């Protein structure tokens, strides 16, 4: 089987390495030799061991020998047009491109089906963790109710460095970039956009209907400080960026935000670049997926496993996907209740108003905590929290706000 690769960056390079290094075992497992025939990239790679680079997409599109293309270029332009043309011309496409799947997955999956080819995207969520296939295959017998996960390696690496090493946000981000975890523009990682695309894909797949990532309330970690980390530690919790989605009566709930998890929560111990995803199902209970969520080889291994899946199912369309979305399907956040941590500028004496039932006041020792304190509220929904804030906190300077997740 001859394959093409579009994009020779971190993941594309990893695909090249795995296909070359593991040639024998890939042949044994898929039943066919997998060979890279063309690599599309606008840059030059004079020192590469590969001699099949092209700058012209047509060289892949019109090559009848190439039946599977790995789209690992990222972004939607030109990846969307290229993928569409490849599927329409009868080639299968496998991808790590979460932005494209989250935005145009519904259409691309329909085109793949109409042309009896495949559009597979195991590498788009969780890097090397198998999570897409379990959702459309192994867990099919279950009515799924909830998915919650640490879905971004870069932000988990940053938070771990802040929590365990007391490192600044900026230094930790630099480390993630050097290790090849971060997106080209790391804002997508840091502001939760990458997690949002991934939870949109998981929500669409788990509950069978398209959830648009643009509509999911999303908050990143750029406002998290070492002080927040210290308050969380005081109440035996850690801060993690999560994507969460659950099935509601006639729709779904989804949100991306930093949360405080109890130290014993299954996701609390997931550190560094690792991702963890908990799937709940009726009858099934909790299932947990864990592994490296970013980086060249973990992500490339998921891309290549999709290639093998297609080679093994020669000529067959693998059934996966979701139906079109509908207005009102994504419910607003008011359905969910959280306890809120709020960090407030003021003397510990000013915290007196919050020493009451259902609330918890946290103060920390040390010079820098002299003029501030934190409050944890009882459970309330977003609307009640906004009212509480308006009524009781309008005279306070709020330094931070994070939701608490219990299970
Ligand atoms: N930037 C992403 C992350 C890459 O850090 O998780 C993997 O999707």
Tell me the pLDDT tens digit for each residue of 43-101. Answer: 999 999 999 999 999 999 999 999 999 999 999 999 999 999 999 999 999 999 999 99
Virtual torsion, Cα 307, 313, 315, 318, nearest 10 deg: -90
What's the mean pLDDT in 172-184? 93
Name, in order, each residue with C-beta under 8 angstroms of 356's C-beta and a sequence gap of 6 or more: none
Per the omega criterion (within 30 degrees of 0), is the bond before 78 cis? yes
Is ligand 1 within 6 A of the CB of residue 181? Answer: yes
**Nearest atom in ligand 1 to 181's CA:** 5
Ligand 1 proximity of 122 Cβ (cutoff 6 Å): no
Percent of the chain with pLDDT over 70: 100
Whether 99 lines ligand 1, by a CB cut-off of 6 Å, is: no
pTM of the entire structure? 0.97
pLDDT for 280-331, tens place per residue?
999 889 999 999 999 999 999 999 999 999 999 987 999 999 999 999 999 9
184 pLDDT above the threshold of 90:
no
Number of H helices, E strands in the chain: 13, 15
Q: What is the pLDDT of residue 142?
A: 87
Annotated active-site residue 198? The verdict is yes
| b/e burial code for range 76-97 (CB count within 10 A of at least 16 → b) | eeebbebbebbbeeebbbbbbb
Q: Give the Cα separation of 270 and 291 in Å (integer).
A: 9
Show the tokens assigned to 136: 């459309």
Centre of ligand 1 to C-alpha 366, Å, is 37
Angle, CA 160 vertex, CA 154 and CA 161 arms, to 5°: 90
Distance 193 CA to ligand 1 centre (A): 11
Phi and psi of 304, rounded to 5°? -70, -30
Point out the catalytic residue in the list 198, 209, 240, 401. Answer: 198
- Do 42 and 67 contact (CB within 8 A), yes or no? no
């Amino acid at each position: 089987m001859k394959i093409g690769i579009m994009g020779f960056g971190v993941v594309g390079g990893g695909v090249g390495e795995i296909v070359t290094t593991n040639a024998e075992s890939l042949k044994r497992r898929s039943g066919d030799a997998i060979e890279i025939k063309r690599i599309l990239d606008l840059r030059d790679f004079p020192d590469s061991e590969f001699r099949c680079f092209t700058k012209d997409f047509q060289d892949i599109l019109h090559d009848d020998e190439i039946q599977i293309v790995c789209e690992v270029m990222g972004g939607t332009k030109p990846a969307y047009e290229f993928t569409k043309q490849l599927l329409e011309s009868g080639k299968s496409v496998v991808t790590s491109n979460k932005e494209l799947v989250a935005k145009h997955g519904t259409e691309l999956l329909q085109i793949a089906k109409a042309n009896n080819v495949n559009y597979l995207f195991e590498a788009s969520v969780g890097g090397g963790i198998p999570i897409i296939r379990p959702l459309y295959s192994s867990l099919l017998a279950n009515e799924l109710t909830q998915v919650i996960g640490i879905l971004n390696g870069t932000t988990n690496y940053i938070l771990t460095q802040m929590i365990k090493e007391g490192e600044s946000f900026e230094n930790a981000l630099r480390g993630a970039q050097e290790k090849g975890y971060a997106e080209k523009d790391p804002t997508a990682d840091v502001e939760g956009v990458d997690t949002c695309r991934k939870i949109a894909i998981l929500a669409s797949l788990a509950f069978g209907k398209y959830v648009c990532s643009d509509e999911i309330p999303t908050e990143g970690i750029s406002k998290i400080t070492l002080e927040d980390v210290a308050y969380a530690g005081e109440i035996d919790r850690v801060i993690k960026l999560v994507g969460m989605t659950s099935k509601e009566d006639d729709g779904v709930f989804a949100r991306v935000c930093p949360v405080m998890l109890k130290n014993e929560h299954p996701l609390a111990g997931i550190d560094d670049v690792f991702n963890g995803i908990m799937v709940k199902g009726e009858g099934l209970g909790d299932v947990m997926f864990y592994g490296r969520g970013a980086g060249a080889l973990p992500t490339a291994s998921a891309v290549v496993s999709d290639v093998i899946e297609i080679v093994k199912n020669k000529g067959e369309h693998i059934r996966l996907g979701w139906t079109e979305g509908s207005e009102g399907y994504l419910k607003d956040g008011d359905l969910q209740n959280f306890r809120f941590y709020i960090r407030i500028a003021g003397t510990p004496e000013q915290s007196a108003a919050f020493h009451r039932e259902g609330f918890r006041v946290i103060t920390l020792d040390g010079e820098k905590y002299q003029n501030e304190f934190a409050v944890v509220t009882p459970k309330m929904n977003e609307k009640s929290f906004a009212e509480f804030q308006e009524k009781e906190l309008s005279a306070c300077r709020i330094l931070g706000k994070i939701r608490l997740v219990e299970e």
